[in-house]
Amino acid sequence: MVSSNKIEKKHTGEKIKKSFYFDRWWLLLFAVIIIIFLLITFKPDPFRRILLFVSDGIGVTIYTTLVSFVLVLFFGLVAGLGRISTNKLLNGAATVYVELVRGIPLLVQLMFWYFAFPSVIQNLGSMLSISSISNYRANPILMAILGLTFCYAAYMSEVYRAGIQSISKGQMEAARSLGMNYFQAMRYIILPQAIRVILPPVGNEFITLLKDSSLVSVVAVADITRRGREFMAANFIPVQTWVMVALLYLVLTLFSARIVTWIERKTKLER
């Protein structure tokens, strides 16, 4: 009886601690939002003008990040499966891709996709005498999404690989003994367990991607950072401009982190 009471108290204490941790981070998010509200209310100039000027960039940042992340999840899984494949060709191609991408800075990759890749397409169109291809013009947002996806899928593949390899080999053997083929065992047995394991690093990759999306400002994408640069160049007030931009990114990252924490709590298996 005493032992069960101690266990119950222990679980209650852990729940209170987790709840306090969760609420504390929400309070931090609300505090940042309140700071922004106070800045634009009691010192409207220039903070309100900055917020209105960069407001369209918030949507571009969110759109670019979400679309890129969905594609990263898919192509990262494909590359991750290639990394653990016993087929030497698939394994070799996936390994070369991962090592190549991880060795080149994201900024350089974005510049390649926006400046160099369209030139390659145009030259190819000239060689084939296809005017529609030779006159190709890069879409900034499309190239930004392509660059972010190509880069982050390599990192995500390693997250998938680690998650899959953390599952006991006996799980695969048991699935095969029940008559499942390799793909069925992966789909119904291995991947559902691996996804629970990799949720924390996947959430971290999303937050990192959100922050790194600021780099697309150098390839003509009108995100928060680029709109901030344009406002600063026109008004010559760098301190207030970058304080507001930093606070906006902080709100987005804090909110994203809380969503990730909530998903982890809902999908966590009690031990």
Cβ-based burial of 255 (10 A; exposed 0-12, middle 13-18, buried ≥19)? middle
Outline where the chain has alpha helix (H): 2-42, 44-84, 88-102, 106-111, 117-128, 131-134, 140-165, 169-177, 182-185, 191-212, 224-235, 238-267
Residues 6+ apart with CB under 8 A from 254: 25, 28, 29, 32
Amino acid (1-letter code) at residue 258? R
Mean pLDDT on 1-21: 49
The pLDDT confidence band at residue 143, using thresholds 50, 70 and 90, is very high
The pLDDT confidence band at residue 103, using thresholds 50, 70 and 90, is very high
pLDDT of residue 20: 47
Question: What is the tens place of the pLDDT at every residue in 172-189?
Answer: 888 888 888 888 888 888
Task: State yes or no: pLDDT of 6 exceeds 50.
Answer: no
Domain ranges (residues) in the chain:
17-109+139-267
pLDDT of residue 113: 94
Distance of CA 45 to CAs 58, 90, 161, Å?
Answer: 20, 58, 51
Q: What is the C-alpha end-to-end distance of the chain, expressed in Å?
A: 21
Mean pLDDT on 5-11: 49
Question: What is the tens place of the pLDDT at every residue in 204-249?
Answer: 999 999 999 999 999 989 999 999 999 999 998 999 999 999 999 9
Task: State yes or no: pLDDT of 16 exceeds 80.
Answer: no
Backbone angles phi, psi at 41, to 5 degrees: -95, -50
pLDDT of residue 132: 80
The pLDDT confidence band at residue 271, using thresholds 50, 70 and 90, is very low
Portion of the chain with pLDDT greater than 70, in percent: 89
The pLDDT confidence band at residue 15, using thresholds 50, 70 and 90, is low
* SS3 at position 213: helix
pLDDT of residue 9: 46
Portion of the chain with pLDDT greater than 90, in percent: 50
Question: What is the tens place of the pLDDT at every residue in 45-58?
Answer: 888 899 999 999 99
Task: State yes or no: pLDDT of 21 exceeds 80.
Answer: no
Mean pLDDT on 124-147: 88
Query: Could you tell me which CATH number the domain at 17-109+139-267 has?
Result: 1.10.3720.10
pLDDT of residue 263: 83
Task: State yes or no: pLDDT of 2 exceeds 50.
Answer: no
Average pLDDT, the chain: 86
The pLDDT confidence band at residue 269, using thresholds 50, 70 and 90, is low
Task: State yes or no: pLDDT of 131 exceeds 50.
Answer: yes
pLDDT of residue 5: 53
